Amino acid sequence: MTEIDSSQDTRSGAPARSRSSKPAPTIYDIAELAGVNPSTVSRALSKPGRISAKTEKLIQDAAKTLNYRVNPMARALPTGRTMTLGLIIADITNPMFFDVVRGAERAARESGYTLIIAESQESGEREAATAERVAPSVDGMILVTTRLADEQIADLAELRPLVVINRRIDGVDAIVPDLEPGIDQALTHLAELGHRSIGYLYGPSGSWMSSARWEALLAKSVELGMSIVEIGPGIPTLEGGRASMTRVAASGVSAVVAYNDLMAIGLLRAAQEKGLRVPGDLSIVGFDDIFGSDFTSPPLSTIRTPLALIGTLAVRRMLERIAADDRRPAHGSRGKAPAISTELVVRGSTGPAGA
Amino acid sequence: MTEIDSSQDTRSGAPARSRSSKPAPTIYDIAELAGVNPSTVSRALSKPGRISAKTEKLIQDAAKTLNYRVNPMARALPTGRTMTLGLIIADITNPMFFDVVRGAERAARESGYTLIIAESQESGEREAATAERVAPSVDGMILVTTRLADEQIADLAELRPLVVINRRIDGVDAIVPDLEPGIDQALTHLAELGHRSIGYLYGPSGSWMSSARWEALLAKSVELGMSIVEIGPGIPTLEGGRASMTRVAASGVSAVVAYNDLMAIGLLRAAQEKGLRVPGDLSIVGFDDIFGSDFTSPPLSTIRTPLALIGTLAVRRMLERIAADDRRPAHGSRGKAPAISTELVVRGSTGPAGA
DNA sequence: GCACGTTTGGCAACCGATTGACAGATGGAT
DNA sequence: ATCCATCTGTCAATCGGTTGCCAAACGTGC
């Protein structure tokens, strides 16, 4: 009756990941199989050249035999690199998000990074909390349709390298498309169709992007001698577009540019239900060219934003920064205009004024 | 001139996460501030009750002061729990995926889990590689539109708890909607409209779901005394739907049920371009009710699949299994019919036969 | 054959948590 | 006042890698 026998239990604190399954092989297993030291295995696997070709091959073979995969968690601990990027999105319901994800996921994967998706919905408080929760497990964060205040965003930027999409903030890296070309084309297009007076369906009241679009539209319409009015703000959904119908009708404009495609489509349908012909009685231009915007009848004319490209560029910028081990925004990029261009896609929802 | 002074460098191997930023606080920092042992901090933070209320408060306060966040990587190492779930998707371009993500992300977040998104596109080989790459960093994986062979899937299930969506495989947990109600309603609806002969636009040739839908349609149409033909297989995209137009016309059917909404919409547009009236000359029913399927003109009648719910349930099932520390599929669930029902959404693309 | 520079591989500390075992403190009963 | 059961906090090992430092092995030129 020995009272002390616990000493032989060498793996007492083992994870016991899941019953009935062998634990994943480690570099120690490889080391044993290959007859070398674990540190040699580590080097052979992650620092090609540091080890003699002979031993390296030996280790590679052993690794293959055991079907070894490096444990990213274990690696992240000493290196501080998680090889993971976080995509924080306020509202996952917004379809523009999906195109961004497409671009971002691919760019990340090509560089060996993994993408974490987190939705924060609701208020800014919640979004900040989400970002802080995600921060420790990622090397950088990309904010997609953020509702945070500038200052909160700056705070987050202290925590981890940060890139913001569709919003410009002092001292924070941003990926923002160049609105000019698309808006120039859209207003010129409308002018050529004889529209003299147009409306802008404003998005959410605090939205940086909505006012950026408004500013650009305003400048251009002045230049073209057109009159333009703000209608809104409104929520950036089908419902929001619908809800603006009364005000649009009351405004007497012959054409409307909406903050985004969702609002444009909502308006389109509400107009049609009211008996208005589109584009006969009202021309409508959307923004973004989201999936499905060409499903409508008439198909929606819209100012395309290269969302997938934006996602890709956001990841690239992030990775550049990480590679440079830099917490500050890219070089002198703050003033540099992005080469991400918008363009008008003419479909069926725009036509001659008063036709 | 001392030759030995390296001993004073206690943090030689420190991560050096990023210049110019204080490293994240650790439980050691808290322990120092609160004047207790790190292990006490660990317990205070993760095992409420194990520590006296007084010390616990002391530690909580210190943690708050330092704005401490537990490092998920460091925690994952000893526990073997990453608190992360992987969503592996073959083709991120497929919009049905969006709704699944919505449901899954929320369910995961509610339980404190984080979601990793990985796309594998291309072949099955690539998909298996993707899954193996992701496996070590997650507690479980959900396969969304997998192109893997049954056997490969079973292999992955050995690696990590696995849940498959929209496909049934022996010995693997699956979340599959009940096709019967929706298909019953759709065929009854078509029968009532006078359609006697319908076509099924088949999806990708290897697709489990496409043949499941076919089987159910076949059984029901026999029951209703309707004739039904397969048209396809085809790629499950707008283009695939378009491409089937010739065969649909040649088949002489008065109504078509498509494998998914994308194909249905493609067909709808091709038909309209050919001068056919929908639903006058051809009735079309889609499948899934994806975002945008009601944008078309006429809006698409479709058999709705509760995709967000499916995402949610997949995560729940996964978490149940993880909670039970179980690698095998849920209890006797294999035979148990899921309570996820489909239903027909009648919109404008279906109408009286030969009208 | 020898001295010397370069590879190559091993040792051990470390990343930030978790946890079994244990000792000291506390409090109640006798 | 003494003893014992319970509660509380500490010690130290551990998860699976990475890496600075060092010594042994190696090859080379003279």
Segment B86-140, tens digit of pLDDT = 999 988 888 898 899 999 999 999 999 999 999 887 677 788 999 999 999 999 9
Q: Is A73 on the interface with B (CB under 8 A)?
A: yes
Tokens of B196: 């006697």
Report CB contact under 8 Å: A118, B105. yes
| Window B:305-344, CB contacts with A under 8 Å | 325-328
Do B21-70 and B180-306 show the same overall fold?
Answer: no
Instruction: Identify the pLDDT of residue A330.
Output: 59
Top CATH class of A21-70 equals: mainly alpha
Instruction: Identify the pLDDT of residue A334.
Output: 46
Q: Is B252 on the interface with A (CB under 8 A)?
A: no
Which residues, other chains included, contact B262 with Cβ-Cβ below 8 Å and sequence gap of 6+?
B94, B95, B236, B237, B238, B240, B241, B290
Report CB contact under 8 Å: B18, A119. no
First to last CA, chain B: 102
pLDDT tier for residue A93 given thresholds of 50, 70 and 90: confident
Q: Distance (Å) from the C-alpha of residue B98 to the closest C-alpha of chain A?
A: 7
Instruction: Identify the pLDDT of residue B354.
Output: 81
Higher pLDDT pick, A17 / B220: B220
Tell me the average pLDDT across A241-260.
97
Q: Distance (Å) from the C-alpha of residue A116 to the closest C-alpha of chain B?
A: 5
Across chain A, mean pLDDT equals 89
Strand order in the sheet with B301-304: B227-231, B197-201, B255-258, B283-288, B301-304, B343-345
Higher pLDDT pick, A112 / A324: A112
Q: Which residue is nearest to nucleotide C7 (CA to C1')?
A: A52
Report CB contact under 8 Å: A69, B18. no
Mutant choice from A73, A237, A284 vs B, greatest count of B C-beta within 10 A: A73
> For residues A32-55, b (16+ Cβ closer than 10 Å) or e, as one string?
ebbebeeebbbbbbeeeeebeeeb
Q: Is A99 on the interface with B (CB under 8 A)?
A: no
pLDDT at B317 over 60: yes
Asked whether the beta carbons of A263 and A210 are under 8 A apart, the reply is no
Going by C-alpha positions, the residue among B315, B335, B320 that lies closest to residue B102 is B315
Strand order in the sheet with A343-345: A227-231, A197-201, A255-258, A283-288, A301-304, A343-345
Fold of A80-177+308-323: Rossmann fold (3.40.50)
Instruction: Identify the pLDDT of residue B338.
Output: 55
Closest CA in chain A for residue B26 = A136
Query: Cα separation of A24 and B271, whole Å?
Result: 55
Tell me the average pLDDT across B186-202.
97
pLDDT at B5 over 60: no
| pLDDT more than 90, % of chain A | 76
B265 CB neighbours in chain A (<8 A) are: 295
Q: Computed from CA positions of residues B323, B329, B331, B333, in that sequence, does the dihedral angle turn out positive or negative?
A: positive
pLDDT at A355 over 80: no
pLDDT tier for residue A2 given thresholds of 50, 70 and 90: very low
pLDDT at A91 over 60: yes
Nearest to A117 among B16, B117, B158 (CB): B117
Residue carrying the six token digits 């019967």: B180
- The separation, in Å, between residue A57 CA and nucleotide D22 C1' comes to 25
pLDDT at B35 over 80: yes
pLDDT at B308 over 70: yes
Report CB contact under 8 Å: A102, B95. no
Three-state secondary structure readout of B108-149 = HHHCCCEEEEEECCCCHHHHHHHHHHHHHHCCEEEECCCCCC
Q: Is B72 on the interface with A (CB under 8 A)?
A: yes
Q: How far is CA A88 from CA A138, A163, B184, in A?
A: 11, 10, 41
Query: Cα separation of A249 and B212, whole Å?
Result: 49
Q: Which residue is nearest to nucleotide C9 (CA to C1')?
A: A40
Instruction: Identify the pLDDT of residue A33.
Output: 92
Map out the domains of chain B as residue ranges. 21-70, 81-176+308-323, 180-306
Mutant choice from B105, B295, B312, B326 vs A, greatest count of A C-beta within 10 A: B295
pLDDT tier for residue A212 given thresholds of 50, 70 and 90: very high
Count how many pairs of residues, chain A against chain B, have C-beta atoms within 8 Å.
Answer: 136
**From the alpha carbon of A24, which nucleotide's C1' atom is closest?**
D16
Q: Distance (Å) from the C-alpha of residue A229 to the closest C-alpha of chain B?
A: 27
Instruction: Identify the pLDDT of residue B61.
Output: 93
Report CB contact under 8 Å: A69, B133. yes
pLDDT tier for residue A48 given thresholds of 50, 70 and 90: confident
Nearest to A93 among B102, B117, B137 (CB): B102
Instruction: Identify the pLDDT of residue A17.
Output: 40
pLDDT at B19 over 80: no
Q: How far is CA A98 from CA A291, B98, B308, in A?
A: 9, 7, 15
Report CB contact under 8 Å: B115, A116. yes
| pLDDT more than 70, % of chain A | 89
pLDDT at A86 over 60: yes
Q: Which residue is nearest to nucleotide D7 (CA to C1')?
A: B52
Report CB contact under 8 Å: A265, B295. yes
Instruction: Identify the pLDDT of residue B335.
Output: 43
Residue type, A134: V
Report CB contact under 8 Å: A80, B291. no
Top CATH class of B81-176+308-323 equals: alpha beta
A95 CB neighbours in chain B (<8 A) are: 98, 291-292
Q: Give the SS3 label for residue B287.
A: strand
Top CATH class of A180-306 equals: alpha beta
Question: B6 burial class (0-12, 13-18, 19+ CB within 10 angstroms)?
Answer: exposed
- The separation, in Å, between residue B223 CA and nucleotide D30 C1' comes to 99
Mutant choice from B77, B84, B102, B117 vs A, greatest count of A C-beta within 10 A: B117
| Window B:7-46, CB contacts with A under 8 Å | 13, 15-21, 24
Closest CA in chain A for residue B134 = A114
Beta-strand pair A114-119/B114-119: antiparallel
Report CB contact under 8 Å: A21, B296. no
Report CB contact under 8 Å: B296, A291. no
Report CB contact under 8 Å: A133, B69. yes
Residue carrying the six token digits 């409308």: A190
Q: Distance (Å) from the C-alpha of residue B24 to the closest C-alpha of chain A?
A: 8
Q: Distance (Å) from the C-alpha of residue B25 to the closest C-alpha of chain A?
A: 11
A297 CB neighbours in chain B (<8 A) are: 296-297
| Window B:206-245, CB contacts with A under 8 Å | none
Nearest to A19 among B20, B136, B325 (CB): B325
> For strand C, which nucleotides have at least one atom less than 7 Å from a protein CB?
7-22
Segment B144-192, tens digit of pLDDT = 988 889 999 999 998 899 999 999 999 999 999 999 999 999 999 999 9
pLDDT at B314 over 70: yes
pLDDT tier for residue B143 given thresholds of 50, 70 and 90: very high
Instruction: Identify the pLDDT of residue A134.
Output: 93
Tell me the average pLDDT across B299-309.
97
| Residues having Cβ less than 7 A from any atom in strand C | A 4, 6, 12-13, 36-40, 50-52, 54-56, 77-78; B 10-15, 23-28, 38-39, 42-43, 45-47, 70-71, 74-75, 77-79
